[in-house]
Structure 1
Amino acid sequence: MRTVLKWFALVLAVLAVPAVGATISAFATIGALNSPGPQRPVPAAAKAPHDPAKPTAVVVVGDRGAVVSDVLAPYEVLAASGRFNVYTAAPRREPKPLTGGLDLVPDFSFDDLAARLGAEPPDLVVVPALPDVGEPSTEPVKAWLRTQAARGAKLLGVCNGGGVLASAGLLDGRPATAHWLKLEAFAGDYPAVHWVRGQRFVDDGDVVTTGGILSSIDGTLHWVERLAGRGVATGVAQAIGWRRYGTAVPVHPPASLPDAAAIVNAGFRWNPDEIGVLLTNGVGEIELGSVFDTQGQSLSSRTLAVSADGGPVVSRHGLTFLPRASLAAAPGLDRLLVPGATRGVAPQPGSPVPEYVHDRPGFAYDVAVSGLARSTDVATARWTAKVLELPDDGIAFEGPAWPWLPTALPVALVLLGAAAVAVGIRIRKRHGAQG
């Protein structure tokens, strides 16, 4: 028995270094996705046009930010329809970090939005995944949601925004869904909700909830169809390149663990690439989301939002973003990605050559994930499509098969640890023999 315990202890000692290193690295990688940016002056609020004849849709962002695609994809779907007043709102009007470090300046604080809309609630409220779901810091958002729901607002819970609605008590006794990675956890945290598995969205009248990240497009188009007609929804789907509207799209089953490639990337890319993402005026919101979320969900790199002069940038449908650096001052970038249709960015001394992500036809996320396969590896790209809930039938997966370099790191650490233990045992035996 003593021998078994001794060998068990030795195995644990060999595995301890890579395990501890992987844990620290994974927490740092995931934590960096929602890290706040530096303090910067907040641009004055634009005089956003408001047409009282149109319904109003509001995309909510929490004080600690939100998942970038959960905000930008529904926003562009609604804005591209031309049938809604579409705004972003937060408890306070200050920069909010979207995953990957894209800092959004909301159109309104909750108080300013109330002043704009008067006695009328928003017709539709979009609730994205928040990084602090279930924590006290989300209480201002939950209280506001409860008020809007009581006043008759319709709700769209996007991805783990279903958890936000559940934590606010707005899904009790109702069917709902969320991201496949979180469904089982939510079922334990919010047992009063009838969690539905295997669907891209669940319609329960005045509340629609969606599955994984890009299921939000299906759920948002569903609301567009309900509020503005199927013809309008079809036109929006065509405009954004979403060819799956109206079709049965498969959904990943609930799971508790990420793929092996994600574990390797999160735990053993101890020196991830620093990727600059160049923000330009007029860039599409979905194009932006496709770059930040593809890189972020891959867990293989870190992104830095930059602009040519470091100043604010306004997207295609009027969202304001604050970069975290100017292109010239961006430190130590390994690559520079340019979302959207912008071409001819002048290379900066010491900066990488610009790579135009959307330089080929196709849905923005299909193209971005395909580019990830070429620049990183196919296994990482397939994981990214899976976690994005992006059907991979339109994606060209071409590139290295596996993240071999970060995989070699734990193997090398285990071998070194085993060698150290073997040397230690030999030295101990030698001293014992001499004694």
Structure 2
Amino acid sequence: MSVLQGKKILLGVSGGIAAYKTAFLVRLFIKAGAEVQVLMTPASKDFVTPLTLATLSKNPVYSEFIHAEEDGNPTWNNHVDLALWADFMVIAPATANSLSKMANGTCDNLLLATYLSSKCPVYIAPAMDLDMYKHPTTLDSFTKLQLFGNTIIPAESGELASGLSGEGRMAEPENIIAFLEADILKNLPLNGKKILITAGPTYEAIDPVRFIGNHSTGKMGFDLANEAAKLGAEVILISGPTSLKVSNTSVKVVRVVSSQEMYDACHLYYNSMDVVIAAAAVADFTPKNVAVQKLKKTEGDFSIELVKTKDILASLGAAKKNQLLIGFALETENELENAKLKIEKKNLDLIVLNSLNDEGAGFGKPTNKITFIDKDFKEESMELKSKEEVAIDILNKVIQHFHA
């Protein structure tokens, strides 16, 4: 999945012949999962129609400060709101004229007013003839704009509208997308990190029909996987039986059923991981003997002999090299003491404690209330939050570990 998935892109189009390519650019943004709002300078409408870009972006296109309503009452296109809405602003094509105005603070159209109000990262794809591209005033504009924190997407070489061939051609739409994705990804805090996350329950078979399990839905682990991928990590999610699906298609999901299958899957990937977050509710016991046929109901009492399952987290702690190992503790009594014992026993770097005694915490709920305890037994209690917010808190601990 593209890192542009779910992002809000403000596309500014200025008046050059390369404006015709913005139809393809908008289409690629939409295909990447972004939401696109187009702003046009008045001159750009000579090269591509607002109707084309509005149809492709599925949003109205703005080019003037004032919008004339059919009832005769004009409305204001608020450049400040447009600027604050965006996660990223892309100006393509950026003509020499627009570049000069942006560099020197000239504000004579809606696009420029929105640019000057922007707080988000701004990417600029210049387009002009080769002599204009190399002119000292244009080079000065590039220098100023980069000093302001803008990013220039280099122009490409090729045939130009003048009939000449050389540098100055706007980067092709697919190259603009690739440039943005690479630039955004390299700045994400978990870029290059490999994270293994376990989620959900395990089912321990009694017979072909029945099993021993628990009420875990897997939501905490799935939220962790989605958020970690958004932060640039390469994520493997090992999940027990659950109906949940990851919203981020870049997450590799490994489906398992039993605790033994989860044990095997964890150790298959463990050595290549930078971080392991064990959020699964793994069964502590499994039937010693699994019936081949469905067990029949009897008149008398019925008993099943249980044996302990392998302790996945302890086995990972014993094999730990440089991995950051994070476990979960769901307790009902002596919460802090039990959690601290797990840290020592399982060689953890951090444990996430949640208590069934806290309202809103536990299985099957959209919220959780946790306490962080690190390997030095330093405690940090958090307020009740959504599991998505808890996932972000946990991943912030991971980021702090690598950026300390």
Q: Is TM > 0.5 for Structure 1 vs Structure 2? A: no
What TM bracket, shorter-length normalisation? under 0.3
Higher RCO (CA < 8 A, seq sep 6+):
1
Q: Which has the higher strand share?
A: 2
